[in-house]
Amino acid sequence: MPMFSRSTLPTFAGCLALAVSTHLAAPAMAQDGPDRLTDRQLLDEFIHFVFIDRDDVAADYAAQLVGRGLEPREFVELIEGAGLQDRFDRAVNEAIRSGLAESQAASLQQLYREGRLQRSRDPQEIAENIAMLTGPLRGRLLAKERLVAAGEYAVPQLLRVIDEGADPSLVREVRAVLVQLGQQAVMPLSVALREAAPQTQRAIADLLGQIGYDTSAPFLAEVAQSSMNAPVRDAAQRALSSVMDADGASAHELYVTIAENFSAEVASVTSFPGEGNQPVWSYQPTAGGLIFDSVPTPVFHEMMAMRLSEDSLRLVRRPNAAAAALWVASYLRLDIERPEDANLDLGLREPMYYAVASGSTIAQNVLARALATSNTQLARKAIEAIGQTAGGQDLWVASTGTAQPLVESLTYPNRRVQYEAALAFASAQPDQPFDRSDLIAPILASSIRGATDRYALVVASDPEVGRGLQRMLEGMGFRVSPAGESLDSLREEYETAASVDLVVASLPLDQSVGLVAQMGATSRLLAAPLLMLSGGADEIELRRRYGEDRSIAIRTAGLRSDQMQATIDDLVERTLGGPISEEEATIYAALAIDALVELAVSDNRVIIASDATTQLVQALGEDEGLFELRLAELLSWIDAPSAQQAVFDRAIQGQGAQRVALLGHTANSARRHGNQLLERQIQRLLQIARDGNDAEAIAAAGLLGSLGVPSDDLAGLILDARGS
């Protein structure tokens, strides 16, 4: 017999429709009174609506759940207490892929991850899991899983078990866990190796040999070379042979090698990518052994490079230029990249003290590192140090006879670096030509005008999107050529620009990846920051690939103008030190004019001021009075008709004391280089000498005398004055 008769079916269908419509209306009810649903109910509804492809509804529930302000560990207990780990993971991943509930799902995912990390790293939790390692099989497996999740943070307590050695079976389990930790165990174990008790040293060396990461190599080499305990030396040497082919390499050289890995931020030395902080380890026997300082991730690699360089310098003070240069470069980078709210008490003087004290050879080495990695801010710091320490030929020729990095800075694709390198050379007054010395005067002249100009490139696969981005950037003050569909289509633009201050791209994933590679291989774009606009799965993949690159920003397409402005400001600030301000431009211009005047007065035949005549004439014509007289003085030293004529034309435009001073500079030019004025200009000068006020007439007359005007012109002045 059927369960429902035909006559009951409509009633059942109506009830079903009512139930479905009520369930779909739940989000609105929940928003009106969110306290009506428990945390568990909100979680269930989020998962349910994701699985029925209603991500828009799921987003509402996720937002309400995030708004409850649950602590991360509370949220973990909510999920795992209900046995929802697998369903939750699948739901958030699906919501992120769909894009409709992406931000809300990502917030829940982050909250869950933070909660699991907090729980796994809790010292009491670690201690309980270590105790479970010798218990029932299921407990042992769970304990190992949690200890591995704790990573480096579990190593101090695990090592203490080995150090105490009270329970051989527990020691065996602990050793297995440490090997399973792999890379995560290497740095804390390596730091402990040098100062632990001999028996523990042997155990640590064996473990490092089994784990097999070369990060431990310098520590093993130091112990193998310096320990007074033969079994310890042997264990360290065996382990060293396992982790690296280090035949003939000394410990101090290996410390520099590993420090370079940290400086380059290779993946194998970063324990917790994506986290805000990283542990930096030290070993203090009187304080319980291994302890760590939590260091902000943006400066973690610099701090580790400094520490390892210090280890190298501790073993060999000199000659050890590699370690010294890496230490100075890392400290300068740390100072550049440290977050504003980071409280780092390093017990050191400011970085520039060490950069200057280390001498010009080290500073040039630091500059070479900056140029090789396109680190504009580090390059400027290095040039500042070089300017205070180097002189003469040391600026452009190394002891090996090769060109110094400062020479390369003259063509580095950033105007600040070019300006500051040119100023350093001008200050040194070189007395013999060298590669690119002919660029210095034009670079100095270029800093006098247009220093605040900003140039951007737009690369977009959709022409309409490209035009929109172009208009937006122009509204922010950038000079922007028409957008291109590829970088190749913009070659002429970026090759003729003084420098490219920003590249904005809106491309599919494969083209975006190609663009990053192409920019890295194009000298004119090496230093340019890149903003990539994307969305969905492409954006997630771009963040995975380039999220840690300080020179790249990845944002969701469709940013508002204010959001775009904020993103660009942050990106340009951290890569280039921000745009050149009006105040900076004024300082650059003043320094450049002073340098060129000194070069012209001294008649320097290497940096020839007259090479920049065209730019200087144009600068005088466009100057608003700030540098007018100083530019006129500079041009008066240049033996070129256009220079003398430009100063006179500027005098004609002026009046009063300004005109008198400019006529004086024209006279100085005439005395040095002879009469180079045009006939029309001489006729105008005669008019001023005849009709001008006393001061102007005297200045004009003085100029006439300097020019050596024909006697009949002078006679006209005399006779006119007599009324004859």
Taking only the tens place, the pLDDT of each residue in 355-369 is: 999 999 999 999 999
Single-letter amino acid, residue 123: P
424 touches 409 (CB < 8 A): no
557 touches 469 (CB < 8 A): no
The answer for residues whose C-beta is within 8 angstroms of residue 391's C-beta and 6 or more apart is 428
Prediction pTM value: 0.82
Task: Please tell me the distance from the alpha carbon of residue 497 to that of residue 424, in angstroms, as a whole number.
Answer: 23
Summary mean pLDDT of the chain? 89
The residue length of the chain stands at 724
Which residues are bridge partners to 530 per DSSP? 503, 552
DSSP for 3-25 reads SS-GGGHHHHHHHHHHHHHHHHT
Taking only the tens place, the pLDDT of each residue in 253-298 is: 999 999 999 999 998 898 888 888 999 999 998 878 899 999 999 9
Task: Please tell me the distance from the alpha carbon of residue 676 to that of residue 707, in angstroms, as a whole number.
Answer: 8
Average pLDDT, stretch 302-319?
Answer: 95
Task: Please tell me the distance from the alpha carbon of residue 452 to that of residue 527, in angstroms, as a whole number.
Answer: 17
Distance of CA 39 to the CA centre of its chain: 41
Q: Is residue 466 over pLDDT 60?
A: yes
Q: How many angstroms separate the first and last alpha carbons of the chain? A: 140
Angle between helix 251-263 and 321-337 (nearest 10): 30
Structure tokens at 315: 């073993």
- Maximum CA extent, the chain: 140
Q: Work out the number of other CB atoms within 10 angstroms of the CB of residue 655.
A: 12
Residue 87: closest CA among 60, 112, 56, 107:
112
pLDDT reported for residue 16: 34
- Where helices occur in 316-456 by DSSP H, the ranges are 321-337, 351-357, 360-372, 376-389, 405-409, 415-428, 440-446
**Preceding omega of 319 cis (within 30 degrees of 0):** yes
pLDDT reported for residue 391: 80
pLDDT reported for residue 691: 86
Task: Please tell me the distance from the alpha carbon of residue 191 to that of residue 176, in angstroms, as a whole number.
Answer: 20
Give the torsion sign (CA, 38, 39, 44, 49).
positive
pLDDT reported for residue 275: 85
Residue 579 gets which letter from DSSP? P
pLDDT reported for residue 718: 54
Confidence band for 247, pLDDT divided at 50, 70 and 90: confident
Single-letter amino acid, residue 560: R
Task: Please tell me the distance from the alpha carbon of residue 658 to that of residue 484, in angstroms, as a whole number.
Answer: 48
Confidence band for 13, pLDDT divided at 50, 70 and 90: very low
Task: Please tell me the distance from the alpha carbon of residue 153 to that of residue 564, in angstroms, as a whole number.
Answer: 39
201 touches 223 (CB < 8 A): yes
Taking only the tens place, the pLDDT of each residue in 92-129 is: 888 888 777 778 888 898 899 889 888 889 999 999 99
pLDDT reported for residue 118: 87
Taking only the tens place, the pLDDT of each residue in 573-620 is: 989 988 999 999 999 999 999 999 999 999 999 999 999 999 999 999
Q: Which CATH architecture has domain 455-579?
A: 3-Layer(aba) Sandwich (3.40)
251 touches 315 (CB < 8 A): yes
Structure tokens at 396: 């452009």
Taking only the tens place, the pLDDT of each residue in 374-429 is: 999 999 999 999 999 888 888 898 877 788 999 999 999 999 999 999 999 999 99
Instruction: Report the b/e string of 305-333 with b at 16+ CB within 10 A.
Output: bbbbbebbbebeeeebebbbbbbbbbbbb
The answer for residues whose C-beta is within 8 angstroms of residue 540's C-beta and 6 or more apart is 96
